[in-house]
Amino acid sequence: MEGREIVVDVKEVTKDYPLRSGVVKALKGIDLQVKRGEYVVVMGPSGSGKTTLFNMIGGLDKPTSGSVSIDRINLAQMNDRQLAWVRSRKIGYIFQTFNLIPVLSAQDNVALPMVFLGISKEERRKKAAELLSLVGLGDRLNHRPQELSGGQQQRVAIARALANNPSIILADEPTGNLDLSTGLSIVQLLYRLKVERDTTVICATHDLKMVDVSDRLAWLRDGVIERIEERTTVTLTSEEM
């Protein structure tokens, strides 16, 4: 990855949530740089701050202090309309809970992000069908979420995240609700995106299956990145296994 440009640049990011009982410090000075085409896994236990960090990178929330830049664009300095533009064109977000629309078919769920780019209905449906075929669901175009298994819903969510050809995929616990076999297929699919499309993949997880396909691992605990390692030099403590 030497010589590759940095596409995600997180600098000294903190995030505080004021409560009646006091202030919860979810992130405590995060620094993370990710290069184009890199596969980075952010590992840590539940409550370590993974989802909060992803919300910062994805432009869904703003840090209390510090900065997050995507392709050298500082998200903290953008208004809601500008953030929506970045999210719709540069970032594909795979949510842990899928967030599919129950009344829409798989094809229409995948096509939805393209509506906001003004793509014609015919082209939207064609591309949605192609993406669902890519994730192995070419025979499930007209199925609604409740007619699909958890693994199939996750694949629909991945296809939707690819709808606008994002250069960055954010995957928040993509295998967290899946069985071993389905989880492995999702891991392999994300890796294929990196290799075949030069997509930057950042995956938050505590699933060790993700270790094998990553370039680097960032270990997050209590809102702090404890260390960042190349995959070939990863060492696991008993608490991390």
Whether 30 is in a domain gets the answer no
- Kindly tell me the burial class for residue 184, based on how many C-beta atoms sit within 10 Å of its own C-beta (0-12, 13-18, 19 or more): middle
pLDDT of res. 235: 55
Please report, for the domain that includes residue 213, its CATH number: 3.40.50.300
- Whole-angstrom distance, CA of residue 45 vs CA of residue 26: 13
Provide the β-strand partners of residue 39: 201
pLDDT of res. 236: 52
pLDDT at residue 42 above 80? yes
- Whole-angstrom distance, CA of residue 17 vs CA of residue 196: 40
Closest by Cα among 10, 25, 8 to 66: 10
Whether 20 is in a domain gets the answer no
pLDDT digit string, tens, across residues 116-156: 899 999 999 999 999 999 888 999 999 999 999 988 998 99
Whether 80 is in a domain gets the answer no
Q: What is the 3-state secondary structure (H, E, C) of 48-98?
A: CCHHHHHHHHCCCCCCCEEEEEECCEEHHHCCHHHHHHHHHHHEEEECCCC
pLDDT of res. 92: 94
- Whole-angstrom distance, CA of residue 82 vs CA of residue 45: 33
Whether 95 is in a domain gets the answer yes
What backbone phi and psi angles, to 5 degrees, belong to 164? -105, 25
If one counts the domains in the chain, the total is: 1
Domain span at residue 196?
A: 36-59+91-233
Whether 78 is in a domain gets the answer no
Whether 9 is in a domain gets the answer no
Residue type, 147: E
Task: Kindly report the pTM of this predicted structure.
Answer: 0.88
Segment holding 172, helix H or strand E: strand 168-172
pLDDT at residue 58 above 80? yes
**How many C-beta neighbours within 10 Å does residue 135 have?**
23
DSSP letter, residue 4: P
Whether 25 is in a domain gets the answer no
Report the mean per-residue pLDDT for the chain. 91
Whether 176 is in a domain gets the answer yes
Do residues 237 and 219 lie in contact, with contact meaning Cβ atoms separated by under 8 Å? no
